[in-house]
Structure 1
């Protein structure tokens, strides 16, 4: 580890010259050895690979086989319709897949365009890609770090590392620090600077030790590159369902083909019937409907300030039971804010500050004048701690530019990390005030008095004890504490060494990166919904725990753990302890991935929120990664499934609610389609088993599956959400789509639709042929003309289609009546039922379509019969629901 080595050892290992830098010849050699200082990614999929990924499915293979056989048997209409289905499904999938993750591309963009290095004894500015290990890098404020650097010289250098480590404030760097612990977290490696972080203050010089994929950012890139996208719970269920339906269809086809041959039927005829059964068994529109419903859900989510990058993320949200959240910028505001102050022996909230009080006013002036940051409503630059002090003044209408004009700075002693103090000399009329601020321990050492209640008094032990007690109280609440002191000079003719002596203590301020105001309520709602909120941060343990307690995430210290402790744990030990942990502090990107994996290993559906580069691998590893849209880095957004446009943790809760409702709607659509397909299978299966002619042709089934079924299924997919959905616990991801009696409902409703379809087939045949007797149920073949069979199939075709349309009304709620739910609360569904009936009528009445579908133009009495049969699923289900409600009340 470079941070463990001395500067001399680093110089030897990198074979560099800290005075002259590398020579041009040496640079060229190292370029060959180490390559360019840029990030690499794996080769992206070609359009052909993306297309094959969409076609590589059991259901698609069966449909394609059916299409080929249809062409061979001179049934081109079937093949055309099947082809259209496959093409639409593939195109939708490819479009979605082609919006592939931009994580690595975004990582590459993070590399800075220029860097200052020593080459051939001169300082030159070069593209950062040309840096090689051993280069001497010059760092100054406002410049991004171009590679991983072992610092050899620093002067008040501060580097903003929140994107990499999660640290909420810039880190003080010191080239002379010696670190011996091999497990020192990134945030504590004070003698190192890392690629793509930002120098905010001071200057430094360092040796490039790692470039490109060897940097800490490069390691993150490798982690992103190596991770494979996992299927969501719904995708897994649909994949399993597809295999079951696919193999089920093949088995049914084989059975029916064999039964037909045993009955003495023609092989070609039975092959056509078998294809019809295969088509009936597969809900062709299901993949497209699920995709469309998810896409509609995405539009809904946008209104909730959430942009979904990957469609399945909508469904995944509904089953999330663990929300792992980064602290800085996600749970907190990502800006230091003064919350408390101490003057006159009293610790108070900052809202109590009174400018009419001399002590209050002097403390505020001290903090604003002894300050190098700049702040206006439109812009702010400088150290976040100093910006927070200026913001405190602005809240009380005391502004920096006015104060600086009134009390101009005439001298200063800059902040130094060794002293932990900063001093300015400001003009106050004819006098000059020395204003000093800094760490309380160092400040009290140079104070001899205290300003209390408008008077200067000696600094006694009691006063010091009171000051330290208040300071410790703020530190216990994870506040960063600064003290202020002053003295008055008659003129500026004073030795600089004496400025920071015999000062008068004024007071203290305490600041923190505060929680977002709305987050506490959102976390409470998560808890009531069975969702655990976990804080994962690069900050120190006491800071993280204080925020966690305030938000209701954790209750005591036993629920918090350091990242270094994770390194010492085996996966088994972590698994045993993880259920009780709520706060993970001082963690690295590898730790975050390990935490997410541990939660997932326990069967949880895990969401990870974050905004920094350090969050990217865990965002990708989680079941659903949620990035911040405003403060989030491009890398985090690229690795995520969803981006919050308002950076608000509460939006996640709204998204989870929406996700739960969308999953319920998808489930309604799938169960509706399956019950309809079950009806088709039962109708064909029993007809063939009884030796009847096939009651439906392949094109009839395709029409019903693609048109008549699809419209209601889509309408169910946009059903208004359940207002009480967040009162339910997260659903078990292992729970079947057919749990809670839904599987039985599919079979029974399928059986009912199948029986009604066969009843229409029988009635249609008897009415046309004039055979009114009940037995035999089906007219003998010798009296069955081609027209009679066409009439019977048309009746069956219409009943199959319209009964399914009415059945869609049953699917809105498993227990509530259609009248309780509200007939017109889903206007799309009512419109789809009416449109479906109209289209069915068009197919039968328009001559050219009648020929394509080989159907009969029904008479008014036929329509009355099919209407009566078709409404039966709705009537019977309403009766069953009524009985259930009565039984439940009893």
Structure 2
């Protein structure tokens, strides 16, 4: 339960928990509370057993149909058919099991967010304990670098700052104080509280524990994540649809063929048990032929291939169907810090009396240029005022920069690190300057002072003092200003100009710091006021967490293809809007909404406004869920990207959750469907293209298999219905060969066909659209109107010689299906604009070579019930195949002309 501990004074909080500020909790009392409240750890959810995962693969309707097909095939004596289908089913189940088992192994990740040990003050002394033993009322001892293991009210703070980005999305460390605040504030505004899963970046302090385990802000989010119901993906829904219709077709064929055959024979009085068994066996075999056995394997194979390709491009998919879901994404709700931005503070501008200096480059790598009013400033040739500014920035600073294995990283506060990087870009040596001017004393930063001052020994005696802090605070303690290399009087006009510059930088969402310096001739004065007065103002530094260079391009692609990007962040509205404008998410006329404004709206009021809002600022985890739900209620397919604990519920509720692999918390990764190993928003665009490609290919081989199987079933079943089982157009061995050989490899090759040229120019497809879209239906109708009548004509024309008729039908099936496979490389583009790829050509070549080789064996021809085709037979077959080719090209042309998009 959430309490307003932040609204109480430190003394009141200590009193309510019975904690002695001088001694902490008594160890015996702590043990009693541990027994009462339980360990400080998350509730462990029961995982899914490997056996349950494996057998769960067989609940898929398409797999279930294939299992039935195995049984039926065995019953009618088609043992080879049953074995082959069985191999396919096991292959599909194993693939699905391996992927989902790996995903389930990540369920324990929630518990990793808790620090393994913590320092508490008990019985009058500090002791290091297992974090799971922390209880409400404990006094946490906080120091820089500590990971906080429980929610707590700060009762003592000395320049204490915490990185709360994993919980609130705040891009800069938050200064902590002890003063009571107004009731009802959101998590991000509780400046006198520290929270589980966050980290102390600077200073030290003590805090009394107010909540542990599942009662913490982190625990409540974990509970919300567990409560979110996982919904089926579009691919899962479509696969079920395919399975349902195939099942209906199979049952209908069984009933129709068996029923009509038995009824017809009954009319002439020759029905006996043997005839009923024969007809039923044939009907079952025909129904098995109606199900494209390779479909489930190809769906799984295509997704597995897609997963492998995405992994190469820094996107790890936890569940295979998520690959396809990206293809119909219409809205991306994205976090800002670390997702659209680098998560690294960077100085953008330095304002000096002599003019502004712009800095290029981003992040902690000291690569970039300094550009002043006269052009680029060469390292080592800095103007005196710029060198003095950067020297002060290095000395009044506790952060350090290091390159480890080719990657630059920092130690300390990100804001201070940004100043270190700026100095390094100018060619200054942080270590060298600090060694030359060792620190003698320090007046630390606090939320009350809003400034930090350090004192450094001069070689000839005396001290230098350097101050940095809020510009208005620093300016108020200055009487002079450095212009060039001369310190002159600070005039009222100077003050007004500096404050105007400060407002200008702040309007650009830059975090602004002022710097000043002075020389103390004979040691440090007795009090801080004497140190921090009559200082020389050096300038302003404007910094921000910069957008990723590729983010703007990725957002532009999203907008081009009809995907709406929406920023959701814990940062202030001004900062969020500036980043969103620079990246291209926010445009003039778009709305910006804060969490406070969102909370004041009813569900219907928000639903009416959600489409106009591009940026949400200062939001809570509940707000993120509300936003995702509102978009989904509009029928949109929503992807949610994020990296923090606060993103987890929305990641799980979204149609597809995308977590950051480097900066992302384990909680976010566990809740997500996909993890970006490079934390790069642009990888989302690649993943979307991959998802569209996968779905396109599913439709390609679906169109191919349905055409082929429908034609086979209609021709074979139609002849049997008209003439009886003795006039079977193809014998079981021939049917089996066409079903598994001629259909199989080309279909697999279509599953890896290259994408169509316009794959990233189409709008997202409607998630409610049937997999049997207009282009697929057009190809199926073409088969019904053009192919099936000719098959009947050819067979009945040679009915007097059944072996010859079967020969023509057999080879016609093979050649026509080869032509269809080549033309299904694209369902919209001509074969000349989208030519068959190497795997499809190889599959077709193999099929042709294989059938030519098999026909050389008399036993094979006898098993198939055919003879060697004559030249005239092949001529007729090739002419008709050419007609099919022309009709397919015409169909594609008409689809393109009428603006039908392949979806």
Conservation of the 8 A alpha-carbon contact between 2:555 and 2:565: yes
**Matching of residues 608-627 of structure 1 within 5 Å:** 608-627=640-659
Secondary structure of residue in 1 paired with 2:218: helix
Choose the corresponding residue for 1:578, options 600, 610, 626: 610
Secondary structure of residue in 2 paired with 1:523: helix
Deviations 1:549-582 (A, max 9, x none): 1122113486111112222222222211011000
Secondary structure of residue in 2 paired with 1:707: helix
**Matching of residues 308-457 of structure 1 within 5 Å:** 308-344=317-353, 346-350=355-359, 351-353=370-372, 354=377, 355-378=381-404, 379-430=409-460, 432-457=463-488
Choose the corresponding residue for 1:98, options 101, 115, 119: 101
Match of 1:195 in 2: 196
Please say if 1:628 is aligned against 2:660: yes
Q: Supply the distance in 2 between the matched residues of 1:64 and 1:422 (Cα, whole angstroms).
A: 73
Please say if 1:473 is aligned against 2:476: no
Deviates more, 1:752-761 or 1:289-298: 752-761
Conservation of the 8 A alpha-carbon contact between 1:81 and 1:702: no
Normalising by structure 1, report the TM-score.
Answer: 0.91
1:699–1:538: structure 2 CA closer, same or farther, 3 Å change rule? farther
Match of 2:556 in 1: 524
Conservation of the 8 A alpha-carbon contact between 1:629 and 1:644: yes
Conservation of the 8 A alpha-carbon contact between 2:823 and 2:888: no
Secondary structure of residue in 1 paired with 2:627: helix
In the TM superposition, residue 867 of structure 1 has moved relative to its aligned partner by: 7.3
Match of 2:268 in 1: none
Secondary structure of residue in 1 paired with 2:532: coil
In the TM superposition, residue 840 of structure 1 has moved relative to its aligned partner by: 4.0
The number of aligned residues is 862
Q: Supply the distance in 2 between the matched residues of 1:12 and 1:839 (Cα, whole angstroms).
A: 87
Match of 2:846 in 1: 835
**Matching of residues 509-520 of structure 1 within 5 Å:** 509-520=541-552
Choose the corresponding residue for 1:731, options 753, 762, 765: 765
Deviates more, 1:253-262 or 1:685-694: 685-694
Match of 2:820 in 1: 807
1:535–1:837: structure 2 CA closer, same or farther, 3 Å change rule? same
Choose the corresponding residue for 1:267, options 248, 258, 276: 276
Please say if 1:19 is aligned against 2:29: no
Secondary structure of residue in 2 paired with 1:247: helix
Deviates more, 1:797-806 or 1:139-148: 797-806
In the TM superposition, residue 545 of structure 1 has moved relative to its aligned partner by: 0.7
Q: Supply the distance in 2 between the matched residues of 1:214 and 1:246 (Cα, whole angstroms).
A: 49
Q: Supply the distance in 2 between the matched residues of 1:889 and 1:664 (Cα, whole angstroms).
A: 20
Consecutive unaligned residues in structure 2, runs of 5 or more: 266-270, 360-369, 899-903
1:839–1:88: structure 2 CA closer, same or farther, 3 Å change rule? farther
Consecutive unaligned residues in structure 1, runs of 5 or more: 769-787
Please say if 1:865 is aligned against 2:878: no
In the TM superposition, residue 123 of structure 1 has moved relative to its aligned partner by: 2.3
Q: Supply the distance in 1 between the matched residues of 2:662 and 2:856 (Cα, whole angstroms).
A: 57
Conservation of the 8 A alpha-carbon contact between 1:279 and 1:701: no
In the TM superposition, residue 15 of structure 1 has moved relative to its aligned partner by: 3.8
Match of 1:207 in 2: 208
Match of 1:876 in 2: 884
Conservation of the 8 A alpha-carbon contact between 2:118 and 2:131: yes
Match of 1:639 in 2: 671
Deviations 1:47-81 (A, max 9, x none): 33223322224444444444434444444344333
Please say if 1:489 is aligned against 2:536: no
1:887–1:702: structure 2 CA closer, same or farther, 3 Å change rule? closer
Q: Supply the distance in 1 between the matched residues of 2:69 and 2:895 (Cα, whole angstroms).
A: 47
Please say if 1:749 is aligned against 2:783: yes
1:358–1:244: structure 2 CA closer, same or farther, 3 Å change rule? same
Q: Supply the distance in 2 between the matched residues of 1:885 and 1:66 (Cα, whole angstroms).
A: 38
Choose the corresponding residue for 2:620, options 570, 588, 605: 588
Deviations 1:564-610 (A, max 9, x none): 22222222222110110000111122221221111111111112212
In the TM superposition, residue 394 of structure 1 has moved relative to its aligned partner by: 0.4
Please say if 1:706 is aligned against 2:740: yes
In the TM superposition, residue 868 of structure 1 has moved relative to its aligned partner by: 4.2
Deviations 1:284-337 (A, max 9, x none): 211110111122222332343323332222212221221211111111111111
Secondary structure of residue in 1 paired with 2:115: coil
Conservation of the 8 A alpha-carbon contact between 1:51 and 1:94: yes
Match of 1:717 in 2: 751
Secondary structure of residue in 2 paired with 1:718: coil
Match of 1:123 in 2: 126
Deviates more, 1:723-732 or 1:662-671: 723-732
1:493–1:803: structure 2 CA closer, same or farther, 3 Å change rule? closer
1:274–1:570: structure 2 CA closer, same or farther, 3 Å change rule? farther
Q: Supply the distance in 2 between the matched residues of 1:327 and 1:207 (Cα, whole angstroms).
A: 32
**Matching of residues 756-795 of structure 1 within 5 Å:** 757-758=791-792, 761-762=795-796, 766-767=800-801, 788=803, 793=806
Q: Supply the distance in 1 between the matched residues of 2:884 and 2:74 (Cα, whole angstroms).
A: 41
Normalising by structure 2, report the TM-score.
Answer: 0.90
Q: Supply the distance in 1 between the matched residues of 2:687 and 2:297 (Cα, whole angstroms).
A: 23
Secondary structure of residue in 2 paired with 1:607: strand
Match of 2:84 in 1: 81
Deviations 1:211-231 (A, max 9, x none): 212222212222222223322
